[in-house]
Structure 1
Amino acid sequence: MDKDNLNENENSNIDEEKELNEEKELNVENIIEEDENLKNSEGAKGEETKPENEEIICEEKEENSNQEEDLNQENQEIKDECKRVINKKVKITIGIIAILAVVSYIIINLVVSKYDDIVYPGYSIYGESIVGLNKEQLQNKIYEYKNKIDKKIINIDAGGNLYKLNVEDIVLSYNEDKLLNQIFKENEDKNKLQKLAVIIRKQKNDYKLDIEVDKRAIKEKSGQISKETSKKCEEPRVLINGKNIRYEKGKKGIKLDDKDFLSNIEKSIKQNNIDKQNIKISGKYIDDNPKVNIKDVEDVNYRISTFSTTYGSGGGRGRNIEIAASKIDDLLLMPGDEFSYEKSVGPVTQSNGYTYAPVISNGELIQGIGGGLCQVSSTLYNTQLKAGIVPTERRNHSKAVSYVPRGLDATLATGSIDYKFKNTHKYPIVINTYAFGGNLTIEFWSNKDALKGVEYKPVGYANGKVANTYLYGYDKNGKKVYEKHIDTSIYR
C-alpha cells in the first residue's frame, strides 16, 4: 500500500470518528431534552423506566466498586502478612524472655543460696565486718566481744581523787544469744529478690551488744565517791542557849551528780571502741543548796514543851545518854518532816561513840552496845506528846523502866524497832537537849502560836502489866478541849 492510500485511509477514519462523536453529542442532547420533558409532564413514565444516562452511571459505579473490592482485598492480604510477621517476632521475643527468666532464676538462686547459712554483706559488730561467718563462728565472735568488755577498767576522776571500777562487777547481762539470732533472722522472711537486693546493696548494718548494767552497784560506788568528795550543804540553824535564840544562815555545798555518773558509766561501757582497754570518765559536781530558807526558821521563837529525867552520870550508860542527846540537839524539823530516832542517833556502834551498858532484851537486863539510849527516846517521847504531837511509830519496853511512868516509854531495837513522829504543826520545830550531871532535859521550840493556847498533858493509866496512854489538851481556863487514846503498852 502506498503512502497516498495510507493518508487517504487515515483521513477517512478521522471523518468517520467525527461523525460518530457528532452523533453521540446529538444523542446526549436528545436524551437531556427528553428527560426534561419527562420531568415537566404530569403523567410521564419517568417512574416506570430508567433513563439511559443512569444506566451508564450505575455501570461506572459497579466498575468502581469492583476496583475498591480489589483494593480492599490487596490491603487485607498486606495486613495478614504483617500479622504473621508480628506474631512470629512476638513468639521469638517471648522465647528470649523465657530463656532470660530461667537464666536469671538460676543465677538468683545461685547467689542467694550462697548466703543461706552465713552472714549477709554489709553486716558488722562494733564496726568490724562479720560477713561470711556461719552461726558458730559468729557466736564465737560475739563472745569474744563480751569478754573484751568484761575486762575493761573504768578510771574515775572525781574531785581530784582517782577511783577504779571493773566493768565485770557492774554488768548484769549481755544479749549475746538474742543478737546472734537477730542477725541470722534479719533476712529470713524475705523473698529471693529481696535477699538479692540486700546482697547487692551491701547496706551497712552495724550491731552492738545490748548491755544491762547493775544500777544498784553503780549507785553504791557513786555514794561512796560522793561521801568522800562532796561537801554537804548546811541548813539554817536555830541555836538555843537558855532563853537566847540565834539564827544562822545555811551554806551551799557541792555533791556528785549521781544521774550523770550513772549515764557516763553506761555510755562508756557501750561505746564503739571495743579494743580500747581502759575507760576514763570524770565525775560531775553540782551545787548542793540548803532546802530551808532562813526566813522560815526565824518563826521559831518560843518553847512549846519540855520534859526531864535523871540518870546516873559517868559510866558507860551515862556516856551513851549524853552522846545520843548531843546527836539530836538543834535538830530542825520543818512542817511535815518525820523524825526517826534510829536514823538520828545511829548507827549504834562503838565506831559511832557508843559503849557497853545494861540494856533490856526480852525482859532481861544484859550488857549491850548503846545501853541508855532508850532513856533519851523516852524523854523525847514525853516532850513530843506535850507538844500535842502523836507518834507515827512507837513500842514500849518489854519490861517497865524506872525513869518514866508505864505507858510513857519508847524503846529502840536497831534494825527492828524504831521510834518516829511527824511535825504536824505549821511551824518549824527545833529539838534542844541538855544532858549533864545526871540530868537530861529535852525541849521543843517553835512559834508561840503553834499550840494555839492549848496545854497538852500525857497520862499513862497502869493496871497490872498493862498501861493505856491518853493525851489530854486544856485551854487557858483549864477546860479539857482535847482527848485521845495513844497506845496500849503490855509489860512482862
Structure 2
Amino acid sequence: MSNNNLNTETPKEVVQSTPKSIISFLKSWKTILIVFLILISILGYWLIKNTNLINSYSNKVYPGAYILNKDLGGLNNDDLHKALVSLIENISDKKVAVEANNQNFEISYKDLDATINYEDLENEILSFGKNEDFFQKINLLKKPKNREYNFEVLFNDEKLTSFVSSISNTIDVSPTNASIDISGGAINISSDSTGLKLDSDDLLENIRYNIKDMNAPNILNVIGKVDVVNASITASALNNVTSRISSFSTSYKAGPSGTNLQIAARNIDNSIVMPGETFSTEKAIGPTTIENGFVSANTYVNGEVVPGVGGGVCQVASTLYNTILRAGIIPTERLNHMMKVSYVPIGLDATLADNLIDLKFVNNFDVPIVVNSYAGNGNLTIEFWANEAVKGGITYEPVSVPLSSLSADTYLYGYNSNGELVVNEYLNRSTYQPLPN
C-alpha cells in the first residue's frame, strides 16, 4: 500500500511543475523580445535622426568653421560665397603705405584688384568632414572643433609694379658726372653730384610678401630703401688729369670730307675714358647720318671710290690710332682700310663703318684719359691727357715696316729717358688692295 502511494504522488508533482516553468520561460523571452524591440526602435530612431542630421549638412559647412572670427558653420554654397565676398570687400578697404626718402605714397587694395581664390577656398571649407565615416561625421557635427581657415590675398601684379614705378619716378635722381674741358692747354673741371635710386626690386618683393597675408593690418606700412648713387666720373678723379701724354696730327682738305672730319673731331673732343673702361670710336662719333649733320663724301666700298654719307671720318680714326699707340696703349679692335690712305704711313691707318667696324681701346691706367680733339685750318690734332707718370718715363713711337707697296708690318717701340729701346712689340700686318684706275 505504501509503495503504491508513493508511485502515484510523484508523477503528480512533476505534472504540476512543468507548466509553471514553461510559462516562466515564455514570460522571460517575451520580456527580452520587448526590450530588444525597444532597443531596435531606439537605435532606428537614433540612426534616422543622425542620418537626417548628416544629410542636412551635405551641402553645408560643418560647424566650427571660421575665417577672421566669422562663423561659417551651417552656410550653404551660396551663403558661404556671399560671406567670403563680404570679407574681401572689407579687405579691399586696406591700404599699402610706402615711405621712401621722407616721402609718403599710398594705394588701396581695391586699386590693386585684391581678391582671393574663391573656388579653392569654398571647396576646402565645404568638403571638410564629407569623406569621413558615419560615426566620425556625427562626432564632427555634435562635438565640433573650431578650425580657422586661411587664404592668400591675390592682387594685380602689373598694377603693383606700376605703383612702385611711379614711386621710383618721383624718388630717383640721376647723379651728375663731372666734366672736363681742355682748351689751349688749360684744364677746367666741373663738379659732380650724387643721385638717389629707389631699390624697386626690394620694395616690390616686400609688398608682394606682406600683402598676401589675410591678417595684415588695415594700413600695411612698408619702407622703401633708397640708395645714394655716386657719379661715375668724379671731379676728384679728373683732378689727376694734369698733362698731355700723347699727340698726333694729320692734314686735311676743305670739302665734304673735311666737313665730316670736323664733326667727328668735335664729337669725340673731351671724351673721358675712366680706368678700366673701353672707348669706342664709333660710339663716340655717333651714327654718320644726315640727321647728325654728316654729308656725302668719297668712301671706299668694294675696291671702288663711291659717294657715301660720313666719308672722311676715318681720318679721325687713323689720327686717333696713332695717338693711342703713342700713349703706349695697344687697341683691342682695329682694322686697316681696304686701300691705302695718304694722310698716315702705310700700316698706321684705321677705318670705321657704322655697326660693323670700330676702333677700340681700354684704359688700363689708374687715372682717367681725356681725348682732346680739334680741327681747323686744314689740321686735325688729337691728344691724350692723363698723368705723365702713367707712361713710366717711356716715349712710345709706332713704326711701320713696308713689306711691299700694298702691305706693312707695324711695331710699337718704346724708349727710356736715355734713348734706349726698351719696348719692341709687334702689332699687326696690314694688307691693301690697289687703288682703282
TM-score interval, normalised by the smaller of the two chains: 0.5 to 0.7
Q: How many residues align?
A: 333
One-letter identity of the residue aligned with 1:308: S
CA distance in 2 between counterparts of 1:357 and 1:292 reads 36
The aligned amino acid for 2:336 is N
Q: Is 1:208 aligned to residue 150 of structure 2?
A: no
CA distance in 2: counterparts of 1:210 and 1:461, whole angstroms: 69
Alignment match, 1:404? 344
C-alpha offsets along residues 128-187 of structure 1, whole Å, 9 cap, x if unaligned?
xxx948xxx9xxx9xxxxxxxxxxxxxxxxxxxxxxxxxxxxxxxx9x9x9698668767
Paired residue for 2:375, among 424, 428, 435? 435
Aligned CA RMSD, in angstroms, stands at: 5.1
Deviations 1:355-377 (A, max 9, x none): 22222233333322222221111
Kindly tell me: are residues 209 and 300 of structure 1, through their superposed partners in 2, closer, same or farther at Cα, counting changes over 3 Å?
closer
- How far did residue 101 of structure 1 move? 7.3
Corresponding residue for 2:24? none
Q: Which has the higher contact order (CA 8 A, sep 6+)?
A: 2
Percent same amino acid at aligned positions?
Answer: 37
Q: Which residue matches 1:460?
A: 400
Look up the equivalent residue of 2:182 and give its one-letter code.
I
Provide, for residues 21-59 of structure 1, a one-character-per-residue CA deviation record: whole Å limited to 9, x for no partner.
xxxxxxxxxxxxxxxxxxxxxxxxxxxxxxxxxxxxxxx
Match of 2:178 among 212, 217, 235: 235
Q: What TM-score, normalized by structure 1, do the two folds share?
A: 0.53
What is the alpha-carbon distance in structure 2 between the residues aligned to residue 215 and residue 417 of structure 1? 40
In the other structure, the counterpart of 1:303 is 244
Q: Separation in 2 of the partners of 1:361 and 1:369?
A: 12
Does residue 387 of structure 2 align to residue 447 of structure 1? yes
Using structure 2 for the length normalisation, give the TM-score: 0.59
Gaps of 5+ in 2: 1-34, 69-75, 86-112, 213-224
- Which whole-Å CA distance do the structure 1 matches of 2:334 and 2:127 have between them? 66
2:232 paired residue among 271, 291, 296: 291
Q: 1:488 matched to which residue of 2?
A: 429
Equivalents in 1 of 2:353, 2:167: separation in Å? 30
Which of 257, 262, 267 matches 1:322?
Answer: 262
Mapped to 2, the partners of 1:483 and 1:97 lie a distance apart of 111
1:415 matched to 2:355? yes
Which position in structure 2 is the counterpart of 1:386?
A: 326
CA separation of 1:259/1:341 partners in 2, compared to 1, >3 Å: closer, same or farther? farther
Which of 305, 308, 316 aligns to 1:368? It is 308
| 2: CA distance, partners of 1:467 / 1:291 | 40
> C-alpha distance in 2, partners of 1:473/1:212?
60
Distance 2:39 2:182 in 1: 108
How far the C-alpha of 1:261 sits from its partner, in A, is 9.9
2:60 and 2:126 in contact (8 A); partners too = no
Between stretches 407-416 and 207-216, larger displacement belongs to: 207-216
The verdict on how the C-alpha distance between 1:259 and 1:368 changes in structure 2, with shifts beyond 3 A counting, is farther
Which residue identity lines up with residue 453 of structure 1 in the other structure? Answer: G
**Larger proportion of helix:** 1
Q: Whole-Å Cα distance in 2 between the matches of residues 484 and 294 of structure 1?
A: 35
CA distance in 1, matches of 2:152, 2:187: 66
Is the 2:348–2:400 Cα contact (8 Å) retained in structure 1? yes
Q: Which residue of 2 aligns with 1:47?
A: none
Unmatched segments (≥5 aa) in structure 1: 1-88, 124-130, 142-173, 273-283
Change (3 A) 1:203 1:415: same
**Mapped pair 1:332 → 2:272:** yes
- Specify the structure having the higher radius of gyration (Cα): 1
**Counterpart residue type for residue 323 of structure 2:** T
Contact 1:337 1:423 in 2 (8 A): yes
Q: Deviations over 1:184-222 (max 9, x none)?
A: 876799763699899986846354256469999x99x99
Question: Deviation at 1:440?
Answer: 0.5
Deviations 1:280-312 (A, max 9, x none): xxxx99876533443332332222111111111
1:477 aligns with 2:423: no
Q: Which amino acid aligns with 1:320?
A: N
Instruction: Work out whether residues 414 and 422 of structure 2, in 8 Å CA contact, stay in contact via their aligned partners in 1.
Output: yes
Match of 1:111 in 2: 57
Q: Which residue of 2 aligns with 1:248?
A: 189
